Amino acid sequence: MSRAICVASGKGGTGKTSVASGIACCLAALGKRVVILDADVGLRNMDIVLGVSDAALFDFTDVLSGNISLSRALLAHPLVENLFLLSAPLGESAGRDTTPQELADLVREIKGMCDFCIIDCPAGLDFGFNLAAAAADAAILVATPDTVSLRDAQLTRAALKSRGIKDIRLVVNRVRPSLIRKLYTANIDEAIDRTATQLLGIVPEDKAVIEAANNGKLLFSNLRAPAARAYRNIAKRICGESVPLMKISRKI
């Protein structure tokens, strides 16, 4: 059964889009047909992270307006088999007349064409968040292990639940063991307790993530990169496999 999973965070700077793209790529590498829907209306960047900004000609408003069919609007990734992108519109007012019901109906159609629809939700709890939450069956909450991020994650979890999403899992991103040991940031158990959310995975701080994003390259196939290994483990758990949490090197 196809699932729509929104990837959300309470604040910007958590690495949410990198996590969403990494998980989506790994699901596709596992043989799943995956559509990434960018719901960051006005400020999309998933096309840049995936390295396809020049090819992303259509967005979801083109489909909703009837200008193009969904099958034609979906951009097949040139390097990752089974991975497709439907972008958000660009511009301050672009897409602002889209209703949550319209996006939910579109996602329902997308689900008929794939195994997973990964919805990249904008940071915060405003318009784009409401669109994404209305269309999702489940959510991945991305937080970094610092006090501000965890408090915002608490509020985001409550907002997701109030919109009817019950299956919410936590990914703690940009984990640096050296800082945790020095008590500068919360440890993983504290992150789970503060957000009251079941842990789906941890992703270490990894400079390869920034390098890949800046160069328009995909990280998921580089299993020497700790973050890429973490994304693959998370993807396997989403598919129902029992995978132990990776050990994060103290050198990170």
> What digits encode the pLDDT tens for the residues 158-208?
999 999 999 999 999 999 877 666 655 668 888 889 899 999 999 998 888
Residue carrying the six token digits 């960047």: 45
Long-range contacts of 177-180 (CB under 8 A, 24+ apart): 177/204, 177/248, 177/249, 177/250, 177/252, 178/250, 178/252, 179/145, 180/145
Instruction: Return the amino acid letter for 5.
Output: I
Instruction: Return the amino acid letter for 231.
Output: Y
> Token pair for residue 192?
């789970």
DSSP for residue 90:
B
Q: What is the pLDDT of residues 11-61, one digit of tens each?
A: 888 999 999 999 999 999 999 999 999 999 888 899 999 999 999 999 999
Burial class (CB in 10 A: 0-12, 13-18, 19+), 170: buried
CB 121 within 8 A of CB 156: no
Domains and CATH numbers, the chain: 3-238 (3.40.50.300)
CB 209 within 8 A of CB 23: no
d(C-alpha 9, C-alpha 93), whole Å: 22
Mean pLDDT of the chain: 90
d(C-alpha 204, C-alpha 202), whole Å: 7
- Give 157's pLDDT tier (boundaries 50, 70, 90): very high
Q: What is the pLDDT of residues 204-248, one digit of tens each?
A: 988 888 777 777 678 877 778 899 999 999 999 999 999 988 776
Find all residues with CB under 8 Å of 1, minimum gap 6, and list them: none
Whether pTM > 0.85 for this model: the answer is yes
d(C-alpha 182, C-alpha 94), whole Å: 45
